[in-house]
Amino acid sequence: MSDDLRQRLLEAAFKSDRSLNAEIVARLEKSFDASPIDEPIVEAIETKLGAHELEMKDIRATVNEMRAMLAKMKDAGL
């Protein structure tokens, strides 16, 4: 362990009134207890992405319609 990391752990242990070993164990346990992203957050992100995908589909359709109109105008000599 680097001296810097040891010093930071010692300071954290002092602040939380733990021994160095207890601080290390507490931090390791916390890292295993940490849950991945909450499911409601994932669902909200997926919902937003789905909405944006629909918007992009609409935008693509509009762009394609405009291209077709421009092509017709060009063919008509306008």
Query: CA angle 4-5-8, nearest 5°?
Result: 90
* Cα gap 64→28, rounded to integer Å: 55
Kindly report the average pLDDT of the chain as a whole number: 89
| Residue from 42, 1, 43 nearest 21 by CA | 1
* Cα gap 11→27, rounded to integer Å: 14
Instruction: Please give the pLDDT value at position 62.
Output: 96
Q: Let me know: does 44 contact 52? Beta carbons within 8 Å.
A: no
Domain ranges (residues) in the chain: 1-34, 37-78
**pLDDT tens digit string along 22-55?**
999 999 988 887 666 677 887 888 898 988 888 9
Specify the pTM: 0.44
- Tell me what percent of the residues of the chain surpass a pLDDT of 90: 62
